[in-house]
Amino acid sequence: MKPGSHRKARGSEACMTRRRFMGLSAGLAGALTAQPFAIAKAQGAGAPLKVGVLLPRSGVQAGIGQDCQRGVDIAPGILKDLGLPELAIMNADTETNVEVARARAERLIGEGAQLIVGAFDSGQSTAIAQVAEQKGIPYVINIAAAPPITEQGYKFVFRNFPTASMILSDAFANQKEIFAAVGSAPKSVVFMHVNDTYGTSMQKGIDAALSKADMPYKILDTIAYDPAARDLSVEVAKAKATGAEALLLVSRLNDAMLLTRELVKQRWTPMAVLSMGPGWYEDQYLKTLGKLSDGPISFVPWYDPNKPLSKALEAALVKAHPDINLNTNHIYTFEALLIAADAYKRAGSADPKALADAIRATDITDNVSIGPGIRFDAKGQNATLKNAAIQNRGGKLVTVAPKAAANAQPEWPLSPYDKRG
């Protein structure tokens, strides 16, 4: 018996049989897994769509996964204001592990998830995509940039996040805009990157992108490292020894903090820290390092502060978490749920094929991310997204490029670490 479908007992029916009791208990247990939006009602007219949200809530990427969760937590009120249907969230932890992500995706679908969202990491998202396609359940990727994910001919996988090549292309364009604005540019850089799926994808695309972008600098060396490393002193010493004027990076949160501390220890302040990924703009990075966090510029998928929905999302986050900056993790996780709710409303059904068809026809112009809106090409990729250049400034984040979405001028060059007090 499904929750909400039982009627009042009459006469001899008032005595609950063991079988009926067990059925009711099982129904209620299933409903209670839908958190935090609402307890799932019986499927039918007006029932919430059951959305399984897979995030790395523990392990190396725990801080980022928990930050993505905030995008989930602040979504209900905004979706309601937009006139969109209710979502019943079923949370699961990937533990920053590809095989766990795969197993949890299968379990969520087995427990009734009608659409999957996640998982931040490209490796984990690749595994989830395989499961979703096999099971015929729509999967909306919140964050994951490895290009192959949407190159497999999948029919149930959709990504509202730029690919690595899109991120690289926009990163170089925004760097050149900054160099022109400040009247200065590094002539050489050393490229350091994590050796996970995303970092490797970026490394593979960087040579081709550099030649097309006609950048003013040369890469003197490329240094790969494990994102779970606890000591990066050797890598930083090697980078410093190249004599490069600036650091070009693809990092995660923990290694970004390790790298910064090593820069301080080894008394090396490059002209700029240019990051093409997460880590350097995370709240935990800003709070942990204080004044030492100022200055790095991140070239990442971001939000357009001029869009009305951006202001609504930021206000909701400030209300729930006054000490946290709106960032990529919140933006794209929220937009994944926006896509799900919008598709469910148009489909009028939780049927997987109907939902997938509705997602394929998405055309949302009232959104948060930079670009004309949310729509998907034949591969399930939103190819219209644009990125921004953001800079750490006194514990806050300001947008310094592109000009159309900027709210500050870049501070250049990086101030010496040993003179920050």
Residue 335 and residue 367 in contact, taking contact as beta carbons nearer than 8 Å: yes
Over residues 247-263, the pLDDT tens digits come to 999 999 999 999 999 99
What pLDDT, on a 0 to 100 scale, did the predictor assign at position 262?
A: 98
Q: What are the φ/ψ torsions at residue 409 (nearest 5 degrees)?
A: -95, 145
Cα–Cα distance, 256 to 142 (Å, whole number): 22
Alpha helices in 290-365 (DSSP H): 308-320, 328-347, 352-360
Strand arrangement of the beta sheet that strand 396-401 belongs to: 218-225, 188-194, 246-250, 273-275, 297-301, 387-393, 396-401
- 200-214, 228-242, 293-307 — which is least confidently predicted? 200-214
- Report whether pLDDT(44) > 60: no
Over residues 135-193, the pLDDT tens digits come to 999 999 999 999 999 999 999 999 999 998 898 899 999 999 999 999 999 999 999 99
What pLDDT, on a 0 to 100 scale, did the predictor assign at position 204?
A: 87
Over residues 335-380, the pLDDT tens digits come to 999 999 999 999 999 999 999 999 999 999 999 999 999 999 999 9
Over residues 288-316, the pLDDT tens digits come to 999 999 999 999 999 998 899 999 999 99
Nearest to 410 by CA among 222, 185, 201: 185
Q: Which residues contact 6 (CB under 8 A, 6 or more apart)?
A: 24
- Report whether pLDDT(388) > 90: yes
What pLDDT, on a 0 to 100 scale, did the predictor assign at position 197?
A: 84
Residue count (the chain): 421
What pLDDT, on a 0 to 100 scale, did the predictor assign at position 28?
A: 34
- 112-116, 266-270, 292-296, 323-327 — which is least confidently predicted? 323-327
Over residues 317-328, the pLDDT tens digits come to 999 999 898 999
Cα–Cα distance, 393 to 15 (Å, whole number): 67
Q: How many CA atoms lie within 13 A of 311 on its CB side?
A: 3
Q: 18: which DSSP letter?
A: H
Residue 226 and residue 251 in contact, taking contact as beta carbons nearer than 8 Å: no
Over residues 3-42, the pLDDT tens digits come to 343 333 333 333 333 333 334 344 333 333 344 333 333 3
Cα–Cα distance, 140 to 157 (Å, whole number): 6
Residue 127 and residue 101 in contact, taking contact as beta carbons nearer than 8 Å: yes
What pLDDT, on a 0 to 100 scale, did the predictor assign at position 179?
A: 98
What pLDDT, on a 0 to 100 scale, did the predictor assign at position 5?
A: 38
Domains of the chain: 38-163+307-386 (3.40.50.2300), 165-303+388-419 (3.40.50.2300)
Higher-confidence residue of 49 and 60: namely: 49
What single-letter amino acid sits at 153?
G
Q: How many CA atoms lie within 13 A of 310 on its CB side?
A: 17
Cα–Cα distance, 197 to 181 (Å, whole number): 34
Prediction pTM value:
0.79
